[in-house]
Amino acid sequence: MADTATTLPPARSQPRLDPRGVLTRYGAWVALALLILFNLAFTPNFATWQTLNVNLTQVCSIVIVGVGMTLVIATGGIDLSVGSLMAIAGALAPLIFLGNLFPLPHPYVGIALAFVVPVLVAGAFGWFNGWLITRLRIQPIIATLVLFIAGRGIAQVMTNGNLQVFKVPEFQYIGLGRLFGLPFQAVLMVVIVLAAAWMLKRTVFGRQILAVGGNERAARLSGIPVVSVKRRVYMISGLLSGIAGLIVIARNSAADANLVGLGMELDAIAAVAVGGTLLTGGRATVIGTLVGALIIQLVRYTLLANGVPDAAALIAKAAIIVLAVWVQRQGRS
Amino acid sequence: MTPLLSMREIDKRFAGVPALVSASLEVGRGEVHALIGQNGAGKSTMIKILTGYYTKDAGEILFDGRPVEFSSPQDAQRSGISTIYQEINLVPYRSVTENICLGRERRRFGLLDWRAMHAEAEALLARFDIHIDVRRPLMAYPTAVQQMVAIARAIGFEARLVIMDEPTSSLDEKEVEVLFDVIRQLKQVGVSVIFVSHKLDELYAVCDRITIMRDGRTVRVAEMSELSKLDLITAMLGRELDRVLHDAAAHRAAAASQDALLKVAHLAVGRKVRDVSFDIRPGEIVGLAGLLGSGRTESARVVFGADRAEAGTVDFGSVHEPAAEPAEAIRAGMGFLSEDRKLEGIIPDMSVRENLILALMPQLARRGIVDDARSREIVDRFIQRLGIRCSGPEQPIRELSGGNQQKVLLARWLCMNPRLLILDEPTRGIDVGAKAEILNLVRELAGQGLGVLMISSELEEVVEAASRIFVLRDGRSVAELTGDQVSEQAVMAAMAHGHDQPEEMAHG
């Protein structure tokens, strides 16, 4: 992948192509291309705006959360709390713009705050994850399990467990609006993916993320601020979860603390794994995560469009994950 | 009788770079065969091809007269070729028995027969004169014992050929003797041994024949008894040893009268460091000597901020207390080469370039964005200056030999222009040639004003390089040796008995 942010820039000196290497490096792209070709040939009405929009809107929130997850996994960690943080952001936003939390001087103030505050709150919770991991030295899977469990509880307490239904077009632009004929959320997704891929590849922070994941002790002895790198990464994961939470409630015109972001952590991890990021840290590709999420989504769509029930699609999804991780392992040996 | 092992005209390339060129190796039955060469000479590649870890590009391997090609180290092991690696490939959390019987557990009625396995483990270790509780976890024992367990495990497989890759690197003298006894015992029952080591005395003590490799070729095969040390080193390096034994007197005198660059007083941390004091002047190489466990490494780590001090002061420039984090020490102008290259040095997935500029990166960046062009310039310069052998700056560092990895890590600090460099076992697991190169470089840098704190288990090396030596014993500094006092005998005497005036140096 030309824009893969692994620690190895594309080899300049070795024009030789080794088929196994090609498969592991470009496997995800090949799979995506095959899926598209298959659909073009067999699925009726595949090459339409409608299909594109449906698939993009389905995949946006997974990709946005997956970007944060990629960064977290690149440091050798994991974030299980993303779905719960989506629920918190999703519960908080309507409370703000409906004026249930505090009186609003003007509706637009409420809408502006409804974008900013929930995302920042989710980011703060993400930072808290990082604090648990770096200060109390709790393993990431346990530390983020805390908010995985408590986060949804917090969201339900905030709303008394009520479903919040609303119709506020200005706010819902983030989930329903269009920019240049494309869903706004898809544009947002692409911007986030490109920004993160660039950050991982070109900036000191990005390289330090990979150094921490590649060998934490060596990174620390080289003066890399390991603690701050980790806290920032979990905070980014929180912020992105917050944005994804807003998109989901805007799309549904309703916020249900029980459902927003349910199972998201696993979808995001699956996208990261299929995309080619090393789950032990040190090697990561944000673009890969995008491709991974697209593959999972497209397989599901393909099966549904061809009359296979959703339950069977889940099995197909699992099979893809196994296949992707297996292909990656081939490249490691 | 045919030789037990015969590898002929082996070729191997990695990404187009030749690692082995028509290399050969022949080991007789019941023979202890030395395999030696500089890092990158192809020893490890040769062994990995033999054991099926790599596949060869060309050539043939005959084992017991029959052509073989093993598909994996396990496959080789089933055929009677066991390998003991430098690193201990065992499971530290499990019991000694479990480690020894791993992969060939005894079963009885479908359940594990613990009694039989414990008995087997004990019997096996008894051959090595090790009597320990095999029910306890492996990590409860010192590294040296763990290494012996690894050896016992390998030989327990009724091996016909045992490959020992630097088996003595973490053993003390007595354990080395035990190992040699084991090797002689193996020889008697007809087991052959390939012995890889950089310690020449060991080779002469235990080996029958020797194969010397250089640049991927076999350059010399000889009876050990007919080869002089000088011939051996010459064959290995391919040139005369002109500057290897460099006269250190020049810079010993130079650093005499300056103010201290680093001053450490009454340092204490945990049980290993109780009262350590020493100082370094600019341009001076100071040795920190002591037996294993005397607190050498632990003291250095505290100075660098890698561990927290419980008491004591560290004066370095404007800083007057021990650094809280390595980042702080680095900002003040320190560098630290860890003794464990793999665990604390390299980032294996990253390239030579990124490993080299790891510490420098923030300074190379403009507004947080890495300046790749500038980084390449710097990296190219250091690759050339230190003679780092790699296919290019973008080659993953894990593909480099140990000596070249070490040079990259040294360059990681040199490119920072430090005022003080702490070298913890800078030549561990490195061949004679690279060793001399690194030591010469350190001297040259000291000549330009760099202060160096050097820790090494090789007394000879410290004595040769350092102008002053502080000797530690049981976590306390017990002697300071200067000028004419610096000799191996003096250091050993201090290690053993301490100095008669330890008070004086605590303030010096």
**What pLDDT, on a 0 to 100 scale, did the predictor assign at position A247?**
94
Specify whether the backbone of B337 is left (phi greater than 0), alpha (psi in -120 to 50) or beta: beta
Picking from B327, B338, B391, the nearest residue to A225 by CB comes out as B327
Q: Which residues pair with B108 in a beta bridge?
A: B111
Count interface pairs A-B at CB distance under 8 A. 97
**Which of B30, B309, B350, B301 lies closest to B160, judged by CA?**
B30
CB contacts, 8 Å: A11 with chain B: 394
CB-based contact (8 Å) between A67 and chain B? no
CB B364 within 8 A of CB B374: yes
Query: What is the distance between the alpha carbons of residues A15 and A2, in angstroms, rounded to a whole number?
Result: 14
- To which H or E segment does residue B150 belong? helix B143-155
d(CA B408, CA B388): 7
Q: Is the dihedral of CA A131, A134, A137, A142 positive or negative?
A: positive
* pLDDT reported for residue A17: 53
Kind plus residue range of the DSSP H or E element containing B178: helix B173-188
Record: contact A12-B336, CB cut-off 8 A: no
Q: Do B351 and A223 touch (CB under 8 A)?
A: no
CA angle B306, B354, B55 (to 5 degrees): 105
Question: Chain B partners of A4 at a C-beta cutoff of 8 Å?
Answer: none
Q: Indicate yes or no: CB of B350 within 8 angstroms of CB of A211.
A: yes
Q: Which two three-digit tokens encode residue B32?
A: 């202890």
CA dist., res. B315 & res. B328, Å (int):
13
Minimal Cα distance from B307: which residue of A? Answer: A221
Question: Which residues of chain A neighbour B358 with C-beta distances below 8 Å?
Answer: 211, 218-219, 222, 224
Phi-psi region of B22 (alpha: psi -120 to 50; beta: other; left: phi over 0): left
Q: Do A221 and B368 touch (CB under 8 A)?
A: no
3-state secondary structure of A230: helix
What pLDDT is attached to residue B245? 37
Q: What is the pTM of this model?
A: 0.71
CB < 8 Å from B in window 196-215 of A: 202-205, 207-208, 210-211, 214-215
B351/A9 Cβ within 8 A: yes
Q: Which of B270, B265, B317, B272 has the alpha carbon at shortest distance from B293? A: B272
Residue B497 CB neighbours (<10 A): 11
Return the residue in B344, B390, B410 with the most chain A beta carbons within 10 A, the one to mutate for interface testing. B344
- How many Å apart are CA B349 and CA B355, to the nearest integer? 9
Other CB atoms within 10 A of residue A159 CB: 20
Instruction: Give every CB contact of residue A42 below 8 A, 6+ residues apart in sequence.
Output: A306
Pairwise CA distance, residues B449 & B443, whole Å = 10
* Sequential pLDDT tens for chain A (333 residues): 334 444 443 334 444 456 666 666 677 888 888 888 988 888 888 888 888 888 888 899 999 999 999 999 999 999 999 999 999 999 999 999 888 878 888 888 888 999 999 999 999 999 999 999 999 999 999 999 999 999 999 999 998 888 888 888 888 898 888 888 888 999 999 999 999 999 999 999 999 999 999 999 999 999 999 999 999 999 999 999 999 999 999 998 999 988 899 989 999 999 998 888 888 888 899 999 999 999 888 888 888 888 888 788 888 888 888 887 777 666 554
Note whether A291 and A240 are within 8 A (CB).
no
Beta-carbon separation of B349 and A7 below 8 A: yes
Query: How distant, in Å, are the alpha carbons of A172, A190, A273, A295 from that of A300?
Result: 26, 21, 17, 9
Q: Which residue of B has its CA nearest to A222?
A: B359
**Interface touch A222/B394, C-beta < 8 Å:** no
- Residue A165's φ and ψ, nearest 5 degrees, are -105, 140
Burial classification of residue B253, based on how many CB atoms lie within 10 Å of its CB (0-12 exposed, 13-18 middle, 19 or more buried): exposed
- CA trace torsion A251, A124, A238, A60 (10° rounding): 20
CB proximity A331 to B under 8 Å: no
Which 3 state secondary structure label does DSSP give A263?
Answer: coil
Residue bearing tokens 């060991």: B202
Structure tokens at A301: 């769509």
CATH class for the domain made up of A49-332: mainly alpha
Per-residue HEC secondary structure of A33-90 comes to HHHHHHHHHHCCCCCCHHHHHHHHHHHHHHHHHHHHHHHHHHCCCCCCCHHHHHHHHH
Is ipTM over 0.95? no
Low-confidence spans in chain B with pLDDT less than 50: 240-255, 257, 500-508
| CA pair distance B421, B418, nearest whole angstrom | 7
pLDDT at site B221: 94
Q: Which residue has the tokens 């003298």?
A: B173
B184 touches B192 (CB < 8 A): no
Predicted pLDDT of residue B172: 67
Among B306, B331, B370, beta carbon nearest to A204: B370
B417: which residues sit within 8 A by CB, 6+ positions away? B333
